[in-house]
Amino acid sequence: MALLPTFTTFVSVCVYLGKAFAYDNSYYDNVAIYWGQNSYGATSSNTAYYQRPISFYCQDDAIDALPVAFVDTFFGTGGLPVLNLANTCNPTDNATFPGTDLADCSALAADIEYCQSQGKIVTISLGGAGGGVGFTSDAEAQTFAQTIWNLFLGGKSNTRPFGSAVLDGIDLDIEGGGSTGYAAFVTEIRSLASGASKPYYITGAPQCPFPDANLGSVIDQVGFDAIYVQFYNNACGLQNYGIVSDWNFGVWDMWARQTSPNANVKIYIGAPASSTAAGSGYISISNLSTIAVQMRRSFPSFGGVMLWDASQAYANNRYDLAIKQALSAAGSTGFTYPPCSAAAYVSGQVYTAGETASYEGYIWEAAYWTNSVPSSGSWSAISACAGSSTQPSPTTSTSATTSARTASTTSSSASKTTATSSTASPTTTATGTCSGVAAWQSGVAYTAGDEVTYTGYLWTAKYWTENDVPGGSAGDWTNDGAC
């Protein structure tokens, strides 16, 4: 009953505002920004920049997609999920539906619909670094997909946290709990959405080490619309863009075009929106602009930039607006393949660090001394390319095709903490400069100067801290480097 009036209102608002533009997933200049966790509020006492209602961030054209973070528990009291939006709406401060820990945030419906009327998509993000998430079977995941469809998307329920607002899809920020069931979950959401009156989008936010520990096998099995790669809190983060053995956007582009079931999947550079938004990976807006435009010109799968999070971007001089302007200046549409300007790869030849070669549609740069065929590891794909290269190789055409997908690292670190305390457990074995330093543990209080190891890095506490993971959005720890 409510559907027709809502739709009519939506259309008339669009016409009235002259909004010709709706979200277009094929663009190269989309900005996605997480909203819901008040990341700024976790690191600062300046309440002026604490998280505001979502509509506050939809008043101009800077942002295109807003994943709402997070549904951080799948099966809570009464079998329903738990939604935690920090200071905006949470199960402790706000009313919950009877017999559940699911907050009734229906007062936010108009704010969400306002963002949608501005041509933005609003999705529900599942997971987060401290998430109590995961499935034991495909059947359980399929049932959960129906629950999510009914609570947040096109279905019906008496316990819809955002009331009449119909969100635009699902984001999976799965940082623990394994891979079981997620492909079945996505397939079920797609099935429920088929034939719907509007498109629904499915995105994922793996960390940059490829393949991702939790989402890696999932994104190989089912089509996603966009992948928001977290280029932070890891060696492959933006802070190491200039190190050819670390920066791996090329690996993600190759995955998108050669392995992903959706060959049109878009890859985003996920970036911290301020120095306090992540343990590592924050770079100046001019540096991020340069890198993003370079990737946009180099890789056809490039879709834009994802930022963590809205509160941090607004507090940091509208980092979101600045990156949007840089991306838009480089063009929303159209991709011209750079020429294969490097000499063709010669089989068996020795290459030393910094030397380049063209091979199978990419320009590669050797990270180290190597005599192996270009693939990730000793080589890095620095650009897609087209056309014949300057020096054709007679031997490459018959050589075995190498897999573009090489597991180069398995490290994974928590990056986004929910408002509730994290349950990440330490797994690091101390070696090298970490020798003698204990692994970080949840539930242990640390004071300024205390050292721990976590995900292969040495960390020092900046101040008293408990339950905030090194590298997490609370920003309590200084990263002293890999060990």
8 A C-beta contact, residue 255 and residue 404: yes
| Options 54, 65, 68, 105; binder of ligand NAG; rule CB under 6 A | 105
Rg (CA), the chain: 22
User: What region does 253 belong to: left with phi over 0, alpha with psi -120 to 50, or beta?
Assistant: alpha
Q: Out of 175, 188, 360, 365, pick the active-site residue.
A: 175
Which residue, 82 or 434, is less far from ligand NAG as judged by CB? 82
* Residue 464 C-beta: closest distance to ligand NAG, Å: 26
SS3 state at 5: helix
Residue 107 makes contact with ligand NAG by CB under 6 A: yes
Restricting to residues 356-375, name those near ligand NAG by CB under 6 A: none
Q: In this structure, what are the phi and psi dihedrals at residue 174, rounded to the nearest 5 degrees?
A: -95, 110
Which CB, 109 or 439, lies closer to ligand NAG?
109
Residue 93 CB, nearest distance to ligand NAG (Å)?
A: 4
Separation CA 31–CA 268 (nearest Å): 9
**Contact between 24 and ligand NAG per CB under 6 A:** no
> What is the 3-state secondary structure of 366-425?
ECCCECCCCCECCEEEEEECECCCCCCCCCHHHCCCCCCCCCCCCCCCCCCCCCCCCCCC
> Burial, 221: exposed, middle or buried (Cβ in 10 Å; 0-12, 13-18, 19+)?
middle
All residues at 6 or more sequence positions from 272 whose CB lies less than 8 Å from its CB, including other chains: 232, 278, 281, 282, 307, 308, 312
Q: Is 165 in the site for ligand NAG (CB under 6 A)?
A: no
Any idea which residue has 């838009």 for tokens?
328
Where in 279-298 is the site for ligand NAG (CB under 6 A)? 283-284, 287
Smallest distance from ligand NAG to CB 145, Å? 25
Q: 79-98 mask for ligand NAG (x: CB under 6 A)?
A: ---------xx---xx----
Is residue 365 flagged as an active site residue?
A: no
Q: Which is nearer to ligand NAG, 287 or 328 (CB)?
A: 287
Please report, as residue ranges, which positions from 211 to 230 form the binding site for ligand NAG (by CB under 6 A).
Answer: none
Question: Residue 416 CB, nearest distance to ligand NAG (Å)?
Answer: 21
- Strand, helix or coil at 186? helix
Active site positions, annotated: 175
What residues line the site for ligand NAG (CB under 6 A)? 88-89, 93-94, 105, 107-108, 283-284, 287
